[in-house]
Structure 1
Amino acid sequence: MKLALINLLPTTAKVPFIRVRFVALALSALVLLFSLFEFANVGINFGIDFRGGIQTEVETGSTTTTEELRDLTAALELGEPRVQEAGNTDPERRTFLVALPLQPGEGTVGEEANQTARQTMETALTSVEGLEIRGTTVIGGAVSRELVVTGFVAIGVALFLMLVYIWFRFQWQYSLGAVLALVHDVIATVGMFSVTQMTFDLATVAAILTIVGYSMNDTVVVYDRIRENLRKYKKMPLADVLNLSINDTLSRTILTSATTLVALVSLYLIGGASLQGFAFAMIWGVLIGTYSSIFVAAPLLLFTDVERESTQGGV
């Protein structure tokens, strides 16, 4: 008896993806506009990596609440605290991230003020019965600003290198479509973090870079089949070739996305606070990346007038 999943997936699907391209592109445009609007008006909940500050991870009994820890740290008058409950796997224990802003002062004065604030916060937190401090991080303003610039430069460089790669492998029309799809994925991911207000930190930047690679890999598979079918079906209308190519790779797309999501959902549920943002970004990225490969990257070739007779370029 055959139980292989591949036997349950369509190998000769005829889903009319290209027929609904205008609906899909309109939906993508709305997502992008909404993401940019949210980013401009609400902003992102930057983690301590990007905004600097003092963050302590604590583990307490199940009866401790976010409000209790917030009131306790607010009473220290060291700035407005941020308290976030992290992922918990033990029903008897709860994990929280308690953060304070950087203390005023430059150079040595600022460093001493932050160390004093750290000690004061830790002393106050240990007064809670059953509370255990698991670690404290202090990141200065100069370091956080540098990390912001470095993080976004890394994303920009990744997008540029992907454009160059696709240009050499295929044609400029493919390169344009692939990079626009990647920009779509990155903006949609930033918008999702703006809506949910989940912590955006260095792990999230790493997730976005991984999403860029994952989405590009998915797009290249579709583009490679499009190039192959353009050579094979020289008289077939371009829209039909695109639709055929997407359907040809559909089973592979479903399998890859599904198996990746299984691992990521597990990571999100049991990975703890330090990996939760990364896993969330990756889950969203896999979904939006799969969508953009089918409904953004491929249909854009219709508008860039890809050349049939020059499809031999690349390796």
Structure 2
Amino acid sequence: MASLATLGNELYTGKRSINFVGRRRTWFAVAGALMVASLLLLGFKGINAGIEFRGGSQFTVSGAQTLDQQRAYDVIAQTGTGEAPRVSGVGANSLRVQTGKLTDQQTQQVKQGLAEEYGVPVNDVAATYVGPSWGSSVTAKALQGLVIFLVLVSIVMAAYFRTWTMSLAAIGALVHDLVVTVGIYALVGFEVTPASVIGFLTILGYSLYDTVVVFDKVRENNAHLLNQKRRTYAEGANLAVNQTLVRSINTSVTGLLPVASILFVGAFLLGAGTLRDIGLALFVGMLLSTWSSVFIAAPLEVSLRERQAPIAKHTRQVLAHRAKTRAANGEGGDDDGEADLAPSTEDLGVGVVAGHHLGPSAQPKRKKGRR
């Protein structure tokens, strides 16, 4: 099996090619199905909003002699609130209990009950109340920041790449990442807290970074598109995706390893809610952003660009020229003519690249001198 370095070199030079752009309808169907499923989950199941968004009372038991969560459920049941509490462990000897809004009398009753059940002084049971208005303010600010971010990204990318197609394709990939990430949260019941919202906004930058790298290579490969007839815009874009594929994989692995460590430490060792919430959002979002930059952003940009008259005309010219050349050379094709239109390795290759070489086999052979 070829090494990753060998595979990367073959993908970069065009010796080996994966048809990402040519199968874009398949990727669009998969992405669309994921987004529809996520929206259905949000509509029917909803998200598990944290206490910061829904409001309520929170109790933290420090130095508990046991972490049996059933005892906390029994204490809350005795208050007669009628709402099931949310109980979770925090660290090695602490417990967190979240309920709906309680009166002062009920709060004191719960504190006393928790202290007795877990064998700690009443002063070691901290009680706080969070109003839902604070969560509404956080949600409004997050949505406002998201809208401003998307608008600025659209303007900057349109100015940088001098085309609106790359800007719109990048926004489409970002929306996909956000919707599917939130859908996964709804599916598995992860609690959405302000830390989760921060994680959601963070993955936007990561997704955008990977997409810009791919688009920059697409622009480079198609810089003089209309002055040649070797390959179409779609083929140049597909070559760009192949050329940046190994880089995207390496970047994703490098980024996911520390995030996985944060997630493991926060969820299993320390029981820290903030680390867990941010880690989950980042881990899921980074995986999706790698997928979207390869399978959604570039293919979507090609679909938008091929609707433009100059690109569509050039594509027809390239395919006609290719079919004519192969017919003149006596190269037959299938009955449907697809073989005549498929690009050759020579059409997709980038030739000699500065800083790279094709190995000793590509060097000219010396003729043996006569003795």
Q: Tell whether the structures are fold-level matches, with TM greater than 0.5.
A: yes
2:118 is matched with: 129
**Where does structure 2 lack aligned partners over 5 or more consecutive residues?**
12-16, 267-271, 312-371
- Checking the alignment, whether the CA contact within 8 Å between 1:102 and 1:141 is kept in structure 2 is no
Q: Write the mapping of 1:211-222 to structure 2, written as runs, cut at 5 A.
A: 211-222=203-214
> What code does the residue aligned with 2:98 have?
A
**Cα distance in structure 1, aligned partners of 2:142 and 2:254:** 28
Verify: 1:37 aligned to 2:40, yes or no: yes
| Greater relative CO (CA pairs within 8 A, separation 6+) | 1
Residues 87 and 276 of structure 1 are in contact (CA less than 8 Å); yes or no, is this contact kept in structure 2?
no
1:157 aligns with 2:155: no
> What are the superposed Cα offsets for residues 12-61 of structure 1, whole Å, 9 maximum, x if unpaired?
32222223321111011011001100101111111111111122333566
Q: CA RMSD in A?
A: 2.6
Once the two structures are superposed, the pairs formed by residues 160-239 of structure 1 within 5 Å of their partners are: 160-170=151-161, 171-231=163-223, 234-235=228-229, 236-239=231-234
TM-score with structure 2 length normalisation?
0.72
Percent of aligned pairs with the same amino acid: 30
Residue 85 of structure 1 pairs with residue 88 of structure 2: yes
Deviation at 1:82, TM superposition (A): 2.5
Instruction: State the distance in 2 between where 1:283 and 1:76 align.
Output: 39
Equivalents in 2 of 1:9, 1:65: separation in Å? 53
| Residue matched to 1:108 | none
2 CA distance for matches of 1:136 and 1:232? 67
| Distance in structure 2 (CA, Å) of the matches to 1:166 and 1:117 | 55
State the match for 1:245 in structure 2. Answer: 240
Q: Which has the larger radius of gyration?
A: 2
State whether structure 2 residue 8 is matched by structure 1 residue 10: yes
User: By how many angstroms is 1:177 displaced?
Assistant: 0.3
Contact 1:12–1:247, Cα closer than 8 Å, also in 2: no
Cα-to-partner distance string for 1:56-75 (whole Å, 9 max, x where unaligned): 33356685333332222222
Partners of 1:269 and 1:197 lie apart in 2 by: 18
SS of the aligned residue for 1:248 comes to helix
Aligned-pair CA distance for 1:116: 4.9
Contact 1:66 1:83 in 2 (8 A): no
The C-alpha deviation readout for 1:128-171, integer Å capped at 9, x for no partner, is 23568575442113222222222222222222222222111111
**Contact 2:35/2:179 (CA < 8 Å) preserved in 1?**
yes
Partners of 2:126 and 2:260 lie apart in 1 by 26
Other structure's SS at 1:258 match: helix
**Where does residue 144 of structure 1 map in the other structure?**
135
Residue-by-residue CA offset, 1:217-255 (whole Å, 9 max, x unaligned): 110010011001111555321221111101111122111
Count of aligned pairs = 292
Q: Which runs of 5+ in 1 are unaligned?
A: 104-112, 311-315
Look up the SS of the partner of 1:99 in the other structure.
strand
SS in 2 for 1:102: coil
